[in-house]
Chains A and B, each alone.
Chain A
Amino acid sequence: MAPLLEIHHLSVSFQTPFGELQAVRDVSLTLHSGEVLAIVGESGCGKSVLCRSIMRLLPGNAVIKGGSILADGVDITQYSRQDMERLRGRLFSMVFQDPLAALNPALPVGAQIAEAVRVRLPRARREAVHARVLELMAQTGIEAPGQRCRLYPHQLSGGMRQRIVLAIALASGPKILFADEPTTSLDVTIQAQLLDLLRGLQRSLLAATVLVSHDLGVVARAADRVAVMYAGKIVEIGTADEIFYDPRHPYTWGLLRALPSRARRGERLYSIPGAPPSPLCPPSGDAFACRNEYALQIDYLQMPPMFPVSETHAAATWLLDERAPKITPPAIPGTSPAGEAPVLPPSPQEPPLLDVRQLSCLYRPHRHLRIQALDGLTFQLHQGEILGLVGESGAGKSTAAQCVMGLCRPSAGQIRFQGIDLRDPRACRQNRRLLQTSRQLIFQDASSSLNGRMSVAELITEPLQIHKIRPSKGSLREEAAFLLEEVGLDVSCLDQYPAELSGGMRQRVAIARALSTKPALLVADEPVASLDVSIQAQILHLFQRLQAAHGFSILFIAHDLSAVRYLCDRTGVLHGGRLVELAPTETLFHTPAHPYTRALLSAIPSPDPRRERARPLQAFDRTPPAPEEILTEIAPGHLVLKRREP
């Protein structure tokens, strides 16, 4: 059977003021009818650009430098704008990462779907279009479409919005659907539902789907074939089983090894060293060579061609050349690390560093709106402990962090930090300096938490300057240089500005700044959520190393359960502003007691296609826990929200 789409040696560049940015370099692909092809890679590897260049959705400064895209045997790279407009919606359509941004905020969702329906049926009657809109909404799993079609995007939840975007994409019956990170902005439980929906639709309506994702778990659940991209090139392509169970490219090895879900606790998490090359001047040889432990001499000189491994599997690495030395690939750990003996909580004799009791926070963003962001949160954090708080968006994780940092005033309850009552303004005033130096906050987005008009040296030493602390290393600059080395950055960064650094480097600077006052408590609010897998592993590893060296405590807030599992001693699960379960991490992952925790755990996609395909989705209840449930200790250190037994 002829392939639906053939791409030959496609190269796409952007003309930027800094020079030519080579986003896609010499990519060849074929897309067959009836398959889901996943494209995996880190941000900036060109996976989105590849899809958008096929649909010609790129901004004006993008140029297709070479190659051809054959749709049903016709080259569409030469098509005019009008021709492409005719092709879009009918041949292919696209789903975007952020459904709120992708939908027009000022139009009801029904009207937006209807518009897409009319692309195919320009002269259809209103009733017919409306009926088709309702049918599409029902197909994408939206209940009560008659009412919902009149709503505006902001009145719907994230999952609903993404379903609307899907309905729009399907409206004119495309053959190929490009799904660009369709589940990244959603909570894990919704993510799994949407992936299953996508697979179902693929079977019934579509000829082929191209799924773009950075998340190997998502790919394992949904894809038939996988292409791994790095620095604008496809480095390995094959069926899902081949990629996950028999990877051949060192980059794929690294990606799979760097997943925190595969690391055993207490063991060093593997991280790919270095950072991807700049797309402004990609190296002449293999772009991955300078991060590759198995790099050959030739990798630095010459670009490797695609070496076929099997009929469906090929990888671009010189290691597959017959002249190359035979090396044994590194062992990629299985997905479920063996459980260890649960780490017992520290002895209760020692007073906790942070003692939070019955903390509630009522939040009134608007006169008519009251939100119980936190409801009776109770936990203790001991000296030198890493406590994780996980939950979906809106569970109150960030509010908890803000209360601890004194950025948000709780409405009830008690917080004691080193014995100081944080709700007592007098005590706070008396211990102001201590509180401000020994608690430090690390934000999710390092780029916005660093003032763009200050150099790295100024940024790192800002707390010292505020408190007029004498730097222990002599001058402020020497102190900044010391801290930079501490977080694994080069001293040459001192005079750079945040905009010149990469995401991972910025987060390191933020960590260095937090360390400058030698804090006792680090509150990290989703510190790795906006980073790529390989960088994430580096930062998690950094946290672990620094904690071991300095002995501070960390309150680690995340939605990513695998990161928590790797790093934290104990983990609490938040849901609807309440703590539903708190236990030593391994206990929590092996014997979750609360149904919400179980649902949350079951929803995490694991990078194991066979297991993923077999695993049914656990239905689960999104209603917040009932008020009559209370936290009960079912085992030493294991607290679960339960109905009081009569």
Chain B
Amino acid sequence: MKTHCIYVCRNLLAFLLSLFLLSAAVFYAARLAPGDPLVSYYGDHAEKMTPAERLQAEERLGLHEPIHIQYLCWLRSAARGDFGISYKYKISVLQVIGERLPNTLLLGGVSLLLIFTLALGLGILCTLQEGRWTDRLLCRAGTVLSCIPEFWLSLILILIFSVWLHWLPSSGAYSAGHGGDPLDRAAHLILPLSIVVSGHLWYDAYIIRSRLLTEIRAEYVLLAKAKGLSRKQILLRHCLRNIAPSCLNRMALSVPHILGGTYIVETVFSYPGIGTLTYESARCQDYNLLMVLSLFSGMLVILCSMLAQICSERLDPRLRPAPEPPADVPAPSEQAAGRLKRRMAVKSPKPLPHRR
């Protein structure tokens, strides 16, 4: 119990510390970068301002102080839940994000679900069919698909389904005036969704496949076979169970990739989401918006990486301490050395294929 408390506290502390560091880094990087924030607030008007007007404008936006004071100010108001207004949209940052977030969550969430279930299915199928034509065909198709840049695939799909066939809409989250129509939303989702899924699917499926292929070569599979279990029983009850912690770890790490990776698709399909917003805010020096968005992504990244850590550390019984020392005292150093070896083995998994 006590160790659990310490564990939670330590992780919480690490989380807060990383958030603080991240916010400071983004703040400084954004302010020190070339570019004029006044342009984003006042538009072209900013360039025609007199020096006195400029000064006044800067004072109003709090840009005249030294950076560290600005940062402290930001921290103070952020602690109260006030993240300032967006320079570009001239409304509260949270409001801007609030409008766009559901769109991204819908796209990202559905793709996550699709990717993970399909990857699991494909991984198992390929393992069962290892070396046969199904497996070979899937591997080949997966490799080809993962080689095509997302943006280009989007273009091709738009060309085929929107320009030539006129089946599906090529941009937006819904047609004007049909915001509440689920069918219309679904039609707008199909193309972006298929791009996101095709971009990430093979990576995850490949991981599951290669882990499973390694696992079915373990010796315990022979014993399971010798005791009379069938192929499917061995694969599902033993192998899949054993690779679950490491696969969950990988999947947790890929959540930010999938959610964050939607922004290319969002841009190509002019889908109003967080991704396009981030990109705009970075281009327009919309500091307040950029801060919150970066913190948001940072939080997601750190949370997921912690989740991954927990998956690999807590789910694997090999890494859990023994409930009670067994009475038959095995030679202590042998046991400890073995445990240590396994610990090392789990902590340093084999390098995996690349993610684009």
Contact = CB atoms under 8 A, between A and B. Distances in A.
Q: Per the CB under 8 Å rule, do A and B touch in the complex?
A: yes
Interface of A: 52, 55, 57, 60, 81-82, 85-86, 88-90, 93-94, 96, 98, 100-108, 115-116, 119-120, 143-144, 147-148, 150-152, 154-160, 165, 168-169, 171-172, 363, 365-366, 369, 371, 373, 392-396, 399, 622
B34 interface: no
A447 to B, nearest CB: 18
B219 A157 contact: no
Contacts of A147: 324
Given A85-B231, A105-B242, A169-B226, 11 more contacts: A81-B231, A103-B223, A120-B228, A144-B327, A148-B326, A154-B342, A155-B322, A168-B223, A369-B336, A394-B334, A622-B329
A115 B226 contact: no
A370 to B, nearest CB: 9
22 contacts: A52-B222, A55-B226, A89-B226, A89-B228, A96-B222, A102-B222, A104-B220, A104-B242, A108-B317, A115-B224, A115-B237, A119-B229, A143-B327, A144-B327, A151-B323, A154-B338, A169-B226, A169-B227, A371-B332, A371-B333, A392-B331, A395-B331
Contacts of A103: 220, 223
A622 B230 CA distance: 41
Contacts of A150: 323
Nearest to A393: B334
B327 to A, nearest CB: 7
B225 interface: yes
B336 A107 contact: no
A313 B59 CA distance: 106
A154 B318 contact: yes
Q: Chain B interface mostly helix, strand, loop or mixed? A: helix
Interface of B: 131, 218-220, 222-231, 237-238, 241-242, 316-318, 322-324, 326-340, 342
Given A85-B230, A160-B328, A365 B219 contact: no
Contact of A115 (B229, B326, B330, B333): B229
A365 B336 contact: yes
Contact of A157 (B220, B331, B333, B339): B331
B317 A115 contact: no
Contacts of A55: 226
A148 B322 CA distance: 11
A102 B335 contact: no
Contacts of A93: 226-228
Given A101-B220, A155-B322, A365-B337, A57 B227 contact: no
Contacts of A107: 238, 241
A150 B323 CA distance: 9
A106 B241 contact: yes
Contacts of B332: 371, 394
A105 B242 CA distance: 8
Contacts of B241: 106-107
Nearest to B238: A104
B327 A157 contact: no
Contacts of A369: 336
A131 B237 CA distance: 22
The 3 closest A-B pairs by CB, nearest first: A394-B331, A89-B228, A157-B330
A85 B328 contact: no
A101 B224 CA distance: 12
Contact of B328 (A90, A157, A169, A395): A157
A89 B331 CA distance: 32
Contacts of B220: 101-105
Contact of A165 (B223, B228, B323): B223
B73 to A, nearest CB: 43
A148 B242 CA distance: 21
Contacts of A143: 327-328
A98 B227 contact: no
Nearest to B336: A365
A106 B331 contact: no
Contacts of B329: 157, 622
B306 to A, nearest CB: 21
Contacts of B226: 55, 57, 88-89, 93-94, 169
Contacts of B333: 363, 371, 373, 394, 396, 399
A116 B331 contact: no
B344 to A, nearest CB: 10
Contacts of A154: 318, 335, 338-339, 342
Contacts of B218: 101
A365 B224 CA distance: 32
B318 A116 contact: no
A223 B323 CA distance: 40
A120 B228 CA distance: 9
A48 to B, nearest CB: 11
Contacts of A120: 228
B233 to A, nearest CB: 8
A168 to B, nearest CB: 5
Given A104-B220, A155-B326, A88 B225 contact: yes
Nearest to B217: A59
Contacts of B326: 148, 151, 155-157, 160
Contact of B227 (A100, A115, A159, A396): A115
A155 B338 CA distance: 10
A94 B223 contact: yes
Contacts of B335: 154, 157
Given A57-B225, A88-B227, A365-B337, A152 B318 contact: yes
A629 B316 CA distance: 42
Nearest to A91: B228
B331 A393 contact: yes
Nearest to A368: B321
Contact of B316 (A106, A158, A365): A106
B80 to A, nearest CB: 41
Given A107-B241, A156-B326, A394-B331, A168 B337 contact: no
Nearest to B339: A154
Contacts of A104: 220, 224, 238, 242
A96 B228 contact: no
B223 A102 contact: yes
A108 B225 CA distance: 18
Contacts of B331: 157, 392-395
A102 to B, nearest CB: 4
Nearest to B230: A85
B317 A106 contact: yes
Contacts of B223: 94, 96, 102-103, 165, 168-169
A156 B227 contact: no
A399 B220 CA distance: 31
A284 B170 CA distance: 73
A508 to B, nearest CB: 29
A105 B239 CA distance: 11
A393 B330 CA distance: 10
B318 A85 contact: no
A105 B231 contact: no
B232 to A, nearest CB: 10
B238 to A, nearest CB: 5
Given A96-B222, A152-B317, A157-B331, A172 B242 contact: no
